[in-house]
Structure 1
């Protein structure tokens, strides 16, 4: 199973109303086809009710477990929202300074 699929499965414990997992590895240095190292998660869940941003991130980290360890996921961008906060949010990612340069 791919890391992306494992990440999606593990985040189901947070009962997401909406879940988007994006493999952004190709935009980072050292990329080669099939590499899975950098991901973005946009998750909308009632389970974040009453939690500050850092607590929401901690919930996501807890759900991902050992996927965030050496040799697995190197970087995880987290956008965690309540349903009432979700509309119109910009979750675009900045370009990596070490991204492969295409002429």
Structure 2
């Protein structure tokens, strides 16, 4: 079952980008936050909208779509934004996020 912020992120991305694949991963449990937090996310999204768009522009599009969540509740957002061709070439795999180091370079 999706939580409120996770659901909001998924709904906004799916509506705007009509992705072929979209996975919202709540990584909050990997950080020093209260149980069931929604503060750290990884977005894996594949969309034809990203064709001919540089990676920085893909990130800008997603950050703009999620502006409210980023201002109000999301502390960290990792973005994997691929074209369908890139997704196929990657064997549909995504590198796992590193363990939290506690912030401040610890």
Both structures adopt the same fold (TM-score exceeding 0.5): yes
Aligned match of 1:83 = 84
SS in structure 2 of the partner of residue 73 of structure 1: coil
User: How many Å separate the matches in 2 of 1:64 and 1:15?
Assistant: 15
Aligned pairs for 1:1-103 (under 5 A) are 2-12=4-14, 13-29=16-32, 31-70=33-72, 72-87=73-88, 88=91, 89-98=93-102
User: Higher relative contact order by CA 8 Å / sep ≥ 6: 1 or 2?
Assistant: 1
Unmatched runs of 5 consecutive residues or more in structure 2: none
* Cα deviation 1:32-88 (Å, max 9, x = unaligned): 222110000000000001111100000111111211014x00100000000000132
Regions of 4+ moved over 2 Å: 87-91
- TM, length-normalised to structure 2: 0.85
SS in structure 1 of the partner of residue 95 of structure 2: coil
User: What's the RMSD between the two structures over aligned residues?
Assistant: 1.5
Aligned residue pair count: 97
- TM, length-normalised to structure 1: 0.87
